[in-house]
Amino acid sequence: MRRAHAVRARWPRMLRGLVGLACAALIAGCAPDNGHWQLTDVTGHLPDLAFKLTADDGQSVTASAFHGKTTLVYFGYTHCPDVCPETMARLMQVIAKLPPADAKQVRILFISVDPARDTPQVLHAYVTAFDAAHIRGLTGTDAQVESLAKRYRVAYQMEKRDPSGSYEVTHSSAVYIFDRDGRARLLATSTDTPNAIAHDLKRVIEHDA
């Protein structure tokens, strides 16, 4: 029994390690041009943006609804105690650093990895608290979320419920940047500053002009 308990106790730590390795492998497989991009260039290494989910207004939505916008995609959940709100706050700083005309071209998609708790209503309240103009909350069935996470190599795992029934979800924290045609272009990690993200985002918006 003690050994089984120890294995269960180590699992969250092991998963965090796997999440880190998955991100590291993705980054290692890409070829960033440090003279051009400050983030990791994933052009040609990830599929185009494609999904069918439920938006925070309760309506079905596909990736085509964001065609023509530069889209930042983040997989998280509303009960996340630290990484998710920190990431969203960082992205708000990025938006603030863009010229107003460029900021209008950006949409941030917060895709929940906890669909059991993140109903459209819950997601709507969450994203509205940050920025109703630029952020859209998306959820779906377990199968839809799992399929989309696999498409973009996102790892996540529900942790054991505590006595009150609450639980956390261990997940990777990268932000995926797609251009206005839905092509995967850049990957931002937790070590990338708002200045670096804003710099590269502006180049994507302007089609690398």
CB under 8 A, 24+ apart: contacts of 78-82: 78/112, 78/114, 78/117, 78/118, 78/122, 78/123, 78/126, 79/114, 79/117, 79/166, 79/168, 79/169, 80/168, 80/169, 81/168
pLDDT, tens digit, 9 for 90 and up, residues 79-97: 999 999 999 999 999 999 9
The fold of the 2-205 domain, in CATH, is: Glutaredoxin (3.40.30)
Is the whole model's pTM more than 0.85, yes or no?
A: no
pLDDT score of 146: 95
pLDDT, tens digit, 9 for 90 and up, residues 46-66: 999 999 999 999 999 999 999
The yes-or-no verdict on residue 16 having pLDDT over 50 is no
Q: Give the Cα separation of 171 and 185 in Å (integer).
A: 21
- Ordered by start, the domain boundaries in the chain are 2-205
